[in-house]
Chain A
Amino acid sequence: MGKKEGLTKRGLRDEYREHAIQEIGYSGRTIEKLKKQGENLHSILDFYSNKVTEKEEREKIKEITAKVDRTTIQLIELKLDYEFKIIPDIKRETHRVQKGKIDKEKALKIEEKIKETSEEMKELSQEVLKFIKDLK
């Protein structure tokens, strides 16, 4: 076997383990922040849905709300996956009971999804902002 990179085939070295735990913490906070943003957008839209009377505007609010909720739910799912799939692996490794079991690919895939969701949330914020600006 050739030289293996990362976590999949080797036990975690102390420095990497520390790094992995920090990264996980950072991702967890990012997810929480984005989730909060989604909740805020939902509240803003709720506020305007009680104000607008035009059918077209009401429909638009419903559409953006569904999109915001879709993205927020995606974040909830990512948080669960982190907590149930990634963190236990890291902790197990920290205890040095089982070695080399962290699925780096899995962690990276979740990281990638967090990035995508973050972009989505940014776009939704802009959509909400534009909608409010355009309100008569």
Chain B
Amino acid sequence: MELQKYSLSEEFETKAIEELQSDLDRSKTICNTSSDLDERIMHYYEEGDRWRGKNITEIMKRLDKAYLMSSEAEKKEIDVKREVKRSTVSKKPLKKEKFKKIIEEIEKINQEAYEEIKSTIKKFKEILDKEIEEYK
């Protein structure tokens, strides 16, 4: 996307690495968020309540999915480091297409994981609203 505008130059490398770092930061946020939510939701797990039990199981599934997706995105960091190293050793610019592909893959995974987390939060809020309502 954005990288198409840059030529194979030092500027491209800098921007590409910067952009990649932001994407990886977002993957990390997703991983941390899913662990955070995972811990909280377990607090409300009660087997006696079927509605809650069913919803919590669904939330856990989604959280695990988001977590695994983001871990996958983080792993791509290795591919990138390899590319950077190769470019440094050979003194040739980074392979634009390859780099672009990795960034796009990470962006796609991040976006899907984000959607999963958002729908998880929505469901979790419903559980908490019900919980709060019960004590009124």
Contacts and interface: CB of A to CB of B under 8 A. Distances in A.
Query: What DSSP secondary structure best describes chain B's contact surface?
Result: helix
B135 A80 contact: no
B125 A70 contact: yes
Contacts of B19: 91
A122 interface: no
Interface string A74-87: 10110110011001
16 contacts: A59-B135, A62-B131, A70-B129, A73-B37, A76-B36, A76-B121, A77-B118, A77-B121, A79-B29, A80-B117, A83-B25, A84-B26, A84-B114, A92-B2, A95-B2, A95-B15
The size bracket of the interface on A is 20 to 34
A93 B37 CA distance: 32
B50 interface: no
Interface residues on B, range: 20 to 34
B33 A62 contact: no
B121 to A, nearest CB: 5
A76 B33 contact: yes
A93 to B, nearest CB: 11
A88 B33 contact: no
Contacts of A70: 125, 128-129, 132
Nearest to B30: A80
A91 B114 CA distance: 19
Contacts of B36: 76
Interface of B: 2, 5, 15, 19, 22, 25-26, 29, 33, 36-37, 40, 43-44, 110-111, 114, 117-118, 121, 124-125, 128-129, 131-132, 135
A80 B129 CA distance: 21
A69 B128 contact: yes
Contacts of A66: 44, 128, 131-132, 135
B131 A83 contact: no
Contact of A62 (B15, B25, B135): B135
Given A62-B131, A70-B128, 11 more contacts: A63-B135, A65-B43, A66-B128, A67-B132, A69-B128, A73-B125, A76-B121, A80-B114, A83-B26, A92-B2, A98-B2
Nearest to B33: A76
Interface string A83-105: 11001100110010110000000
